[in-house]
Amino acid sequence: MLVLAGGFCVSANAREPVRTRHAMVGTQEPLAADVGVQVLKDGGNAVDAAIAVGFALAVTHPYAGNLGGGGFMLIRFADGRSTFIDFRERAPAKASRNMYLDASGEPTRDSLDGWRSAGVPGTVRGFELAHRKYGSRKWADLVGPAIDLAERGFPVSYALAESLKSARNLSQDPESKRIFQKNGAYFAPGDTFIQPELARTLHRIAQNGVNEFYEGETAQKLAEAMARKGGLITLSDLKDYAAVERAPLTGSYHGYGIVAAPPPSSGGIGILQMLGMLDGSGYQKSGFGSAAEIEYVAEVMRRYYADRSQYLGDPDFGKLRLTSLLDPAYIKRRRDSIDPNRATPSTQILPGLPAARDGGETTHYNVVDAQGNAVAVTYTLNEGYGNGITVPGLGFLLNDEMDDFASKPGSPNAFGLIQGELNAIQPGKRPLSSMTPTILTRDGKFFMAVGAPGGSRIISAVLQVILNVVDFGMNAQDAVDAPRIHHQWQPDKLYLEPGISPDTIALLKSRGYDVDHSPGLVLARVEAIISKGGWLEGGSDGRASGKAAGY
């Protein structure tokens, strides 16, 4: 049964969120959620559980969980401190600005396909930094559950079986086809998936620490395979890789504190800038899901993504104008340019700052422990299963994160994003990311952890879940399940998920929007945990097969 709410058709049998008293984990794969909960029950803190979940996902969620990729960890401690660990992949030393252009100067698929598409992995180093500074359990104990899952195997779900079978990039690599597709025989739901090569790699990481991955046997085998296959990553690249601790971005919206990811994430600045444009606009008065509300949020998105195309990149390789992008006067100018009754063509929206004077595929999970510490982690291989290549003898997939650079500034990448000179390829540089782990506070205490996979659609999805909770009073489950929209400036198209009423779609078209409401369209998959009335409330997106669990 469907009932109409605003311009959305909403199920009358909406799912209830998971509620627990003490601690909670929310992930996009259930077995990894159970691993995290057990670490918390055994006395580990939120950082410990986040590390264990990350290693477990490398086994049970090969679509995005990884050893061969990178990501971000946002931590907000119960005492009010916060930090951000950047373990984003880096370009190898042999990388060059025009390495993915053909003879006519046009981008090729080499940034997505083959050994040359991989950036230097950061996940293991990032988890080690988090553990060394903020963990409380033994490193080997946090890697142990992943080893068990790889050695003993786990039952293949229907969703995983279908995903592995249909993955084109896995079928093109002999090692990946052997491990993940049984050489074309394929896994059936209920089969046990055992990964002995990955188990041995994890054993070495557990016993020898992070240097195993970056200088030991694992590093040697990875570098040798790269040299043999024409890849770029060398032993020196691995040895020189460092995770970086950065200060989070902070702001406020309607009485809530926002703790957000700094660059090279483009998500935190996007959340703060878009919330700034919405603040004081009264956009929510027209009602959730109304054409007027959708239009205003879409116009805010359009303006942010235009700015993203030019002003953001790796902060270690150029001065970023974050202060200017969050200047209330600038945000007001952007807000004032919105016509609430008519779409503004993207050709009329340009990156808006004056001349400079100042300074997937992916997965997300959240952890909140009994002390009130909160961790939000988004990490990735870029596309699903990365570049589809499994390192022989090591059992893990490689990323194709080099496509997140601007192979040709001004030309779109795999997600259709236009990117500028600040994100051009340079050796040692981290590509700009859409990953958006975000934490909200209320009255100085933890209120919400949220994030998502989904490429360029991550930022808009996280924004809408925050709005659903803060402005429209939804619980965690309703907030992540509600139909979403997306506009990223270029292409000039408004994407609408199923569930939006035909009348609303017709009204949006009459206001000048080029609307894509294709059946089955999915705009990211969000995980959220909310603290409410002494309970933790978990919402795991119904578009995926994840799980929120705790005690």
For range 119-147, the mean pLDDT = 98
pLDDT digits (tens, 9 = 90+) for 335-344: 999 999 999 9
Q: Which residues pair with 438 in a beta bridge?
A: 260, 450
E strands present in 114-204: 154-155, 192-193
- Residue 6 pLDDT > 60, yes or no? no
- CA separation for the pair 546, 551 (Å, rounded): 17
pLDDT digits (tens, 9 = 90+) for 43-54: 999 999 999 999
- CA separation for the pair 464, 326 (Å, rounded): 19
| Share of residues in the chain with pLDDT > 90 (%) | 92
Q: Which residues pair with 122 in a beta bridge?
A: none
Give counts: helices (H), strands (E), the chain: 18, 21
| CA 122 to each of CA 102, 128, 214, 434, 457: distance values in angstroms, whole numbers, following the listed order | 29, 10, 10, 16, 23
For range 59-76, the mean pLDDT = 98
pTM of the complete model: 0.95
- Residue 7 pLDDT > 70, yes or no? no
Tokens coding 49: 């559980």
Give me the pLDDT at residue 181, please: 98
- CA separation for the pair 148, 195 (Å, rounded): 10
Pair 351, 307: CB distance under 8 Å:
yes
For range 278-299, the mean pLDDT = 97
2 vs 324, residue with greater confidence: 324
Give me the pLDDT at residue 420, please: 81
Catalytic residue list contains 218: no
Least confident of 24-33, 283-292, 358-367, 514-523: 358-367
For range 75-94, the mean pLDDT = 98
pLDDT digits (tens, 9 = 90+) for 353-409: 876 443 357 899 999 999 999 999 999 999 999 999 999 999 999 999 999 999 988
For range 498-512, the mean pLDDT = 96
Q: State the burial class of residue 310 (Cβ atoms within 10 Å of its Cβ: 0-12, 13-18, 19+).
A: buried
Q: Please give the mean pLDDT across all residues of the chain.
A: 94
Give me the pLDDT at residue 355, please: 62
| CA 210 to each of CA 50, 111, 122, 193, 220: distance values in angstroms, whole numbers, following the listed order | 16, 27, 11, 26, 14
Give me the pLDDT at residue 9, please: 53
- CA separation for the pair 499, 10 (Å, rounded): 7
Give me the pLDDT at residue 13, please: 58
Residues 6 or more apart whose Cβ sits within 8 Å of residue 310? 351, 420, 421, 422
Give me the pLDDT at residue 361, please: 72
Of 35, 232, 46, which is closest to residue 137 (Cα–Cα)? 46
Residue of 362, 363, 378, 438 marked active site: 362
- Residue 412 pLDDT > 90, yes or no? no
Give me the pLDDT at residue 149, please: 98
For range 313-319, the mean pLDDT = 93
Of 484, 338, 495, 481, which is closest to residue 7 (Cα–Cα)? 484
Pair 314, 430: CB distance under 8 Å:
yes
Pair 149, 143: CB distance under 8 Å:
no
Rg (CA), the chain: 22
Give me the pLDDT at residue 540, please: 97
Give me the pLDDT at residue 493, please: 97
Tokens coding 43: 């006395």
Of 390, 414, 394, which is closest to residue 172 (Cα–Cα)? 390
For range 315-324, the mean pLDDT = 94
Give me the pLDDT at residue 358, please: 36
b (16+ CB within 10 A) / e for 454-469: bbbbbbbbbbbbbbbb
